[in-house]
Amino acid sequence: MASPVSAYNSNTLDSQISNTVRDSLKMEFLADVSLLPGEERITDKDLIYICPFSGAVKGKVLITNYRLYFKSSDADLPVTLDVPLGAISRVEKMGGASSRGENSYGLDITCKDMRNLRFALKQEGHSRRDIFEVIFRYAFPLSYSQHLFAYLTQEKFPENGWNVYKPVEEFRRQGLPNNKWRIAFINKNYSLCDTYPTVLAVPYKSKDEDLSRVAAFRSRGRIPVLSWIHRENQAVIVRCSQPLVGMSGKRNKDDERYLDLIREANDTTKKLTIYDARPNVNAVANKATGGGYEGDEYQNAELIFLDIQNIHVMRESLKKLKDIVYPNVEESHWLSSLESTHWLEHIKLVLSGAIQVADKVSNGNSVVVHCSDGWDRTAQLTSLAMLMLDSHYRTLRGFEVLIEKEWISFGHKFSSRIGHGDKNHADQDRSPIFVQFIDCVWQMTKQFPTAFEFNEHLLLTILDHLYSCRFGTFLYNCENARDQHDVRTKTVSLWSLVNSKADLYLNPFYTPDAGQVLYPVASMRHLELWVSYYIRWNPRIRQQQSPVEQRYKELLALRDEYLKKLEQLQLSDSSSSFHLVNSSTSNTTSSTASTPSQQYTQLHTPL
Amino acid sequence: MLTGSKNTFKVRQMLPDVKERMLSQSSANAQSRDVFGLRCLPGECVLQRTVMVRKKLTAREGRGWLSGTLFCTHFRVAFMPQDSPKPDDNADPVLLGEHDVALASIEKVVAVGPNRIKLVTPNSSLKFTPEELVLYCRDMRVMCFLFDRLTPDAQVIEITYTIAKTYQPLKPGSVLSFQNAALGSVEMKQFLSNRRRDAHMNWFESASEWEQELERCGATSWRVSSVNDRFEMSTSLSRFIVVPQKVLDTELKKSFAHFNEGRIPRWCWRHPRGSDLLRMASFQNNIYHEKDDIRNLEMVLFGCQSSLCVVVELGEELPSPADIQLAHCRLRALCLGDISTSVSMPDDKWLSTLESTHWLDYIRSCLRKASEVACLLRSGHLTVALQEVEDRDMSCVVSSLVQVMCDPHCRTQQGFQGLVQKEWVMAGHRFYSRINYHRDSDKEESPVFLLFLDCVWQMWFQFPSRFQLTDDFLLALHDSIHLPLFSTFLANCQRERCKRSQNLGQSYTPVNGWRDVLNPDSSSDPSDPPLPPVWDWALQYSQERRERFTQPVPPPAPLQLLLNGNLNTNPDAHRLADTIPGSVFLLSRGTFTCPANLPPWRSSTSGVYKKSHRRAPSSEGVPGLERLLKAWALTEFPQSIPSTFGPQGPLDPYEPLLPLLMGPCMGLWRECYLRGALHAQAFSHPVSTNSLHPVERLAQEVQQLKDKLAQISTSSSSDSPTVTPEPRQTDTNLNRSTNNSTFLYPASRTQAAGASRAAPPPTSTNHQTSRGPSSTSRPGNRDAAGGNKHSFLFRHSSATDARHNPQYYPPPSNAKLPKSNGASVGF
């Protein structure tokens, strides 16, 4: 099975596959787990899975170079686990030779995707040490100087996801270059800024030398560059890192002039609004390490702090959230426990920051967004604001472009934040910033159920493969590193998978609209916990599905059933009911015409 | 002059408006119309009018502002959008338009000035010209009107005053004057008295209606007793009660004294697997149990099951009415904020404050109790008797929730309305005191019914596809509670309702009703207006709104066919079989016990029992029963996606819907409670009103396929089980010739209709007539409805025709469906 969330496969083709998988498993235990091309069996072992929901389950575990697969041997208690090794954050031995009590000797595996797995083993031989080492070695290949699975996979897809995002094409879609903005290739060799992409859009009037001088005054050389331009009012979203003001309050004329050039590029911007994503105190504290924020010397600019906390606070918040939902959902005081994690409050701050950005821009004001380094909170804010402003990003392809552009190409440090293949689970650089972004997107899809072409399944798939290391999409920290490791040539893009089976990820209720700005409500009253992600391992939660979608799926199933019956009837009795066949085909064509959705037409073809 | 003759408002208020009234009533037409396009009810007077007002639209309405004219009549505050279509003078009167609010629903009037906010009371004086007028309503709506700079100041101030002076029905008698304002005119009275009640829901008013229910449930060993016909046995019980067949009325009479208020165990519902649900008040203590009494009491309590009775004590784990009232007040305050100062709960404390209202806790405990009962019923031949001290609050909640969980019929609009009639209205829930219309019984006030509606909403939220009714229906019912116009809610029990209608001379006489024996002389006292039941939705809501009460295509329901017999697939019967016959267990806090004094006549003090009866039950049956509840805990858990039809075929429709009760699964009914919180309103996508349309579209397609399948199978194999009536072919031909999608629904639904009991044989002519009004009332076709010019007073025949078919589901409106032209011509 390709995706670990098989519960979501509604499509008939897919369920057939899963049926065959199940059948074959019955025939020969674990021998026939459908592996990915390039996936290899490493070892298998009998052990006991301590399931937090149904208790200890005897079964067999299979370790490949991609996944940990467990299946219970007891047919009455069908438990299967299918965990990509990339999702493993930490493996620990629990219990020692002296430990007593049933199932107290074994392994404790912490996963990045909100679950823990515990296995109990017999205290004989070196069985535990062996399996521990295998898991450790294959879950953290980089710590052993091995290749990530993305480099080993032989998967082939009809679509090539690496072609989804072409920077120049995307700029052209936005109407760039124009007489105010130019495309600069100064970073062709990553010489200006090693964490930026090669293609940048900068004010037409700025010269390449200016850019270099500005780079000297911006943290890690991440100069202000254009992310998005409003087609009508020409207001822009510009992103960058903090200015290197420092304790002494240094100034940089070039930087000041450069920001003014950005302001001038739009006629209606009287004052350039600079959004500093951090809380005010954090920005001040950053002066101690040479950073800081734009002061009064920046004329024609106003600075607004958005009070979004740093990566460490977010990490701790999600950890608290995990504590109250896994394995057991906090029962007695659910809402106040949820409140005390502050997770939704952080979501709210990120969303409301993005709303402010989007609002400014749609009113014709250019804005600059930065945080400290401009790769975490800044990416969240710019990409969410763009999602609100530009309906193109609300399509499936557009959303892929948005992630490729604002997150991947602009150097969100996926490798550090996720820790792909790295055993240092306590690394302070890890943080669920991208998860938080996807959560914000989910909140938006909840509030605007018809505005997005993609569905929840896409968001879940993205988050699953954020960790899985099956695709190259989220590997490494920046384009520079990706180029060095030949990601585009040696690995497969996640979008290859998605676009090859796009109908799985489409929202049936999508109604395209022209250029509407979406402002979600960023209030605790209307934000919800993303239960189907954070609590999805709880078997009680699974049936919680989008009400309308559930109905839709039932209807789809019913229709397929009827279609099948009709076909059978018509085949068996084609001569006598000839006129009816005629009428039915006319019906099909007419309803196909009335439903432009691709899905419809596809599902009609059996007739 | 056709003014409301019984108007009780002071002349002082009326004087400035005489001219206006002249204007609005000048037309010779009985239907008065204001010159600015407000369609008044007969006798309704416009007290004040303000032009160039903008109304803030809620998320549901698509947000933004709508400009138009604001009116205050002596019945409502009305708002007419500028370019609203010209009202049809011949249509039946609808009490409230889409943007209107009845004066009685208004709780507070707040004027917002340039830099101040003032709560406007009847006595307060305004020292500034309001820029904005905010009406906080009892049903948790908040209406916000913005005045334009060009709006004349005098008009702004006047309308604010007028609304503030007229809205509050605080004093005794003000409810009556409100009723008069709405329904008091001669035309309204006549109109109301000519309305027919919905014959397709069960009103439980007559013996035959109860018998219908017995038949529907297959409860053959029960009978309807009229022993309480004159309310002599129990004043709060309904006229007819259902008791075991084998108990005679003379025997029955003796048992009333043993229960609080004479509310003896009565049958409510029978599970298809053979269990019965009963409800009763607490046992009367200190009463001597005669030997004969005991025999009868046992028979009444055990109903038709000889072996096992579980008494479910509702007092302990469920909130008291006072708890509910407190929680609801807190919830209100939280959701609406502090009304006078517009201060609202800080957002970062929202979740914990919401938790501390305990509203969701109470909902959870009700749902949990009902789930337990549903599981007991599902699994054995036993009697479950809900017991509450008064048997008029939480037993209404639990018994009806159990039926919503177990009986698909109760998840349809008609079935649900019948359920409310049965378990609330007839069972004597004290609506009148609990809602506290007169503000004179504050201690009694408690929104028990609203708690119940929220429980149902939770179920709907978790299993929307298993409901034919929608949250829109629940919301409409929620809002109607606050309108003191409906006989349904304006009494505490059937006796009070009967009294009133006797005094009134029963002017709201249902044509097919059973009350016509009461008082045929309708001239006794015409002063009080006749009160309609809440179920007469056409009186309150437009056709478009009512169409949203049910799903465009309901879940497929082969239900009625199954319910006539007793399913006997009882997996747990053998486990319970070893129970000693005559055991009574008490279910409390999730465990079963058999206390010695349950029922009290078995206790040692009463003495008589032990000598003459079987030995006292041991607790041998307990493990079996506990297994049933454990089974629930387990089924709650691996239950897969509840699909009505998977590859395995349809689910057992009587498998109870057991809602998940974990914290993250309980939702807040935002569409109801948060629609007032304007500052925090979710801006649903402007097209969200048609967000359902892909489903509708698909549903149409499925329906077509189903029809076609039926056609083919009838034509190819005559012995097909899904028999479709022969006239279908002609039927569809008819459809093709007329406006395409209009007839799709009724036509495709003949199959379901044929299966249901009351439906007429689906001949094509019949369909033609029944569909006429439905198609003409659809918005897209309104103008084309030229042939339908009845006088509004006498158009009821067509209105009822539209409801002719109990399985009738209105077609989705054209407005919702983009370009559905080709979709339906496939026949």
Packed helices A433-447 and A456-468: angle between N→C axes, nearest 10 degrees:
170
Residue with tokens 């920077």: A167
ipTM of this predicted structure: 0.84
Alpha-carbon distance of B515 to B48, in angstroms, equals: 41
When pLDDT is cut at 50, 70 and 90, the band that residue B303 belongs to is confident
CA-based nearest residue in chain A for residue B711: A580
pLDDT digits (tens, 9 = 90+) for A66-78: 999 999 988 888 8
**Of A259, A256, A258, A283, whose CA–CA distance to A272 is shortest?**
A259
Kindly report the average pLDDT of chain A as a whole number.
Answer: 87
Q: Within 13 A of A447's CA, how many CA atoms are on the CB side?
A: 25
Q: Provide the token pair at A56.
A: 């200890």
- What is the amino acid identity at position A573? D
CA-based nearest residue in chain A for residue B706: A562
Beta bridge partners of B39: B33
Using left for φ > 0, alpha for ψ between -120 and 50, and beta otherwise, residue B614 falls in: beta
When pLDDT is cut at 50, 70 and 90, the band that residue B340 belongs to is low
Residue B722, chain A, CB below 8 Å: the answer is no
pLDDT digits (tens, 9 = 90+) for A507-516: 888 888 777 8
Tell me which of B526 and B581 has the higher pLDDT. B581
CA-based nearest residue in chain B for residue A344: B348
How far are the Cα atoms of B211, B374, B598, B639, B761 from residue B560, in angstroms, in the given order?
Answer: 16, 20, 37, 25, 16
Among A14-23, B21-30, B187-196, B791-800, the range with the most confident prediction by mean pLDDT is B187-196
Domains of chain B: 17-194 (2.30.29.30), 207-340+347-503+528-548 (no CATH)
Alpha carbon A242 to its chain centroid, in Å, reads 26
Confirm if A83 and A1 have CB atoms less than 8 A apart: no
pLDDT at A441: 98
pLDDT of A578 strictly over 50: no
CB contact under 8 A, B351 and A336: yes
Cross-chain CB nearest to B705 (options A508, A520, A563): A563
pLDDT at B460: 92
Confirm if A338 and B351 have CB atoms less than 8 A apart: yes
pLDDT at B658: 87
Q: A363 CA to chain B: closest CA distance, Å?
A: 17
**Of A383, A528, A395, A380, whose CA–CA distance to A451 is shortest?**
A395
pLDDT digits (tens, 9 = 90+) for B712-753: 777 655 444 433 333 333 333 333 333 322 222 233 333 333
CB contact under 8 A, A542 and B640: yes
**Mean pLDDT confidence for B227-256:** 91
**Of B295, B358, B296, whose CA–CA distance to B328 is shortest?**
B358
Beta bridge partners of A58: A48
pLDDT at B691: 43
pLDDT at A582: 42
CB contact under 8 A, A539 and B638: yes
When pLDDT is cut at 50, 70 and 90, the band that residue A9 belongs to is very low
Q: B336 CA to chain A: closest CA distance, Å?
A: 12
pTM, to two decimals: 0.81
Question: Which one-letter DSSP state was computed for residue B25?
Answer: H
pLDDT digits (tens, 9 = 90+) for B501-557: 766 544 444 444 444 334 434 433 445 677 899 999 998 888 888 888 988 665 555
pLDDT at B647: 33
The residue of A516, A530, A545, A587 whose CB has the most chain B CBs within 10 angstroms, and thus the best one to mutate to test that interface, is: A587
Alpha-carbon distance of A423 to A356, in angstroms, equals: 39
Alpha-carbon distance of B113 to B157, in angstroms, equals: 11
Q: A113 CA to chain B: closest CA distance, Å?
A: 18
When pLDDT is cut at 50, 70 and 90, the band that residue B597 belongs to is confident
pLDDT of B95 strictly over 60: yes
Cross-chain CB nearest to A513 (options B640, B644, B687): B687
Percent of chain B whose predicted confidence (pLDDT) is above 90:
25
Cross-chain CB nearest to A335 (options B355, B682, B695): B355
When pLDDT is cut at 50, 70 and 90, the band that residue B563 belongs to is very low
Kindly report the average pLDDT of chain B as a whole number.
Answer: 72
Determine which of A569-573, B461-465, B575-579 has the lowest per-residue pLDDT on average.
B575-579
CB contact under 8 A, B708 and A583: yes
* Contacts of residue B482, Cβ cutoff 8 Å, sequence gap at least 6: B104, B105, B137, B138, B139, B435
Alpha-carbon distance of B574 to B190, in angstroms, equals: 61
Confirm if B279 and B399 have CB atoms less than 8 A apart: yes
| DSSP strand pairing (B76-81 vs B101-102) | antiparallel
Tell me which of A92 and B175 has the higher pLDDT. A92
Determine which of B42-46, B312-316, B777-781 has the lowest per-residue pLDDT on average.
B777-781
CB contact under 8 A, B709 and A573: no
CA-based nearest residue in chain A for residue B707: A562
Residue B715, chain A, CB below 8 Å: the answer is yes
H/E stretch holding A437 reads helix A433-447
Percent of chain A whose predicted confidence (pLDDT) is above 90:
70
Catalytic residues of A: 371
Q: Provide the token pair at B755.
A: 């299966």
When pLDDT is cut at 50, 70 and 90, the band that residue A352 belongs to is very high
Tell me which of B300 and B77 has the higher pLDDT. B77
Alpha-carbon distance of A332 to A228, in angstroms, equals: 46
CB contact under 8 A, A540 and B820: no
**Of B390, B452, B398, B387, whose CA–CA distance to B588 is shortest?**
B387
Q: Within 13 A of A236's CA, how many CA atoms are on the CB side?
A: 27
Packed helices A311-325 and A343-362: angle between N→C axes, nearest 10 degrees:
130
Dihedral sign, Cα of residue A452, residue A455, residue A456, residue A459: negative
Q: Within 13 A of A497's CA, how many CA atoms are on the CB side?
A: 20
Q: What angle do CA A324, A325, A329 make, to 5 degrees?
A: 90
pLDDT of A108 strictly over 60: yes
- What is the amino acid identity at position A70? F
Question: Which one-letter DSSP state was computed for residue A404?
Answer: I
Cross-chain CB nearest to A509 (options B691, B715, B820): B691
**Mean pLDDT confidence for B571-577:** 45
pLDDT at A344: 97
Number of other residues whose CB lies within 10 A of the CB of residue A98: 7
Helix ranges (DSSP H) in B222-278? 249-255
CB contact under 8 A, B462 and A561: no
Residue B500, chain A, CB below 8 Å: the answer is no
CA-based nearest residue in chain B for residue A560: B702
Tell me which of A31 and B44 has the higher pLDDT. B44
Beta bridge partners of B67: B54
pLDDT digits (tens, 9 = 90+) for A424-445: 999 999 999 999 999 999 999 9
What are A55-61's contacts with CB under 8 Å, separation 24+?
A56/A102, A56/A103, A56/A120, A60/A29, A60/A30, A61/A119, A61/A131
Determine which of A172-181, A238-247, B618-627, B801-810 has the lowest per-residue pLDDT on average.
B801-810
CB contact under 8 A, A580 and B354: no
Q: A595 CA to chain B: closest CA distance, Å?
A: 8
How far are the Cα atoms of A3, A263, B65, B397, B515 from residue B497, in angstroms, in the given order?
Answer: 62, 74, 43, 21, 11
Residue B827, chain A, CB below 8 Å: the answer is yes
Q: A386 CA to chain B: closest CA distance, Å?
A: 17
Q: What angle do CA A161, A163, A168 make, to 5 degrees?
A: 140
At residue A273, φ and ψ (nearest 5 deg) are -95, 125
Residue pairs spanning A and B at CB distance below 8 A: 216
Alpha-carbon distance of B793 to B90, in angstroms, equals: 8
* Contacts of residue B808, Cβ cutoff 8 Å, sequence gap at least 6: B746, B749, B753, B770, B774, B802
pLDDT at B621: 52
When pLDDT is cut at 50, 70 and 90, the band that residue A96 belongs to is confident
B159 three-class SS: helix
Residue with tokens 């609010």: B101
CB contact under 8 A, A334 and B355: yes
* B645 contacts on A by Cβ (under 8 Å): 554, 557-558, 561
CB contact under 8 A, A558 and B664: no
Alpha-carbon distance of B616 to A67, in angstroms, equals: 61
Cross-chain CB nearest to B826 (options A345, A550, A586): A586
Alpha-carbon distance of A208 to A343, in angstroms, equals: 42
Compute the residue count for chain A.
Answer: 607
Tell me which of B634 and A539 has the higher pLDDT. A539
Residue B823, chain A, CB below 8 Å: the answer is yes
* Contacts of residue A385, Cβ cutoff 8 Å, sequence gap at least 6: A228, A237, A354, A355, A357, A358, A361, A369
Interface of B with A in 674-713 (CB under 8 A): 674, 677, 680-688, 690-692, 694-695, 697-702, 704-706, 708-709, 711-713
Residue B348, chain A, CB below 8 Å: the answer is yes
Cross-chain CB nearest to A557 (options B645, B686, B706): B645
pLDDT at A92: 93
pLDDT digits (tens, 9 = 90+) for A318-328: 999 999 999 88
Q: Provide the token pair at B514.
A: 């059973």
Alpha-carbon distance of B165 to B159, in angstroms, equals: 10
Number of other residues whose CB lies within 10 A of the CB of residue A189: 10
Percent of chain A whose predicted confidence (pLDDT) is above 70:
87
Q: A16 CA to chain B: closest CA distance, Å?
A: 12
pLDDT digits (tens, 9 = 90+) for A548-576: 666 677 778 888 888 888 888 877 765 55
**Mean pLDDT confidence for B682-710:** 63
CA dihedral B383, B384, B390, B393 (to 10 degrees): -140
* Contacts of residue B445, Cβ cutoff 8 Å, sequence gap at least 6: B325, B433, B434, B435, B436
Alpha-carbon distance of B699 to A558, in angstroms, equals: 9
pLDDT at B192: 85
pLDDT at B622: 61
First-residue to last-residue Cα distance in chain B: 55
pLDDT at B36: 63
Q: Count helices and strands (H / E) in chain B.
A: 30, 18
